Amino acid sequence: MSYHKNNYLNIIRIVKKLIGLNSSKFAIEQLKTEIEKTQPLTEREWLLERLIELK
């Protein structure tokens, strides 16, 4: 149960950051690094695809 809670909280936290992200290369790379390192995160590929769309 804790795994699922942490996973969904991580997804929500990162989506909030993605919504408020300015489109500077530095900010995008910083969020990309955070997404790659965050555990657990089942929607990692989807979130990284959203970042690619911002570039």
Predicted pLDDT of residue 19:
94
Rounded to 10°, the helix 2-19/25-37 angle is 180
Predicted pLDDT of residue 55:
74
DSSP three-state, residue 39: coil
pTM metric for this prediction: 0.91
Predicted pLDDT of residue 1:
77
Kindly give the confidence (pLDDT) of every residue in the chain, 55 residues in length, as a single tens digit, with 9 standing for 90 and above: 799 999 999 999 999 999 999 889 999 999 999 999 999 999 999 999 999 988 7
- Is 47 exposed, middle or buried (CB count within 10 Å of its CB: 0-12, 13-18, 19+)? buried
- Is 38 exposed, middle or buried (CB count within 10 Å of its CB: 0-12, 13-18, 19+)? middle
Predicted pLDDT of residue 15:
97
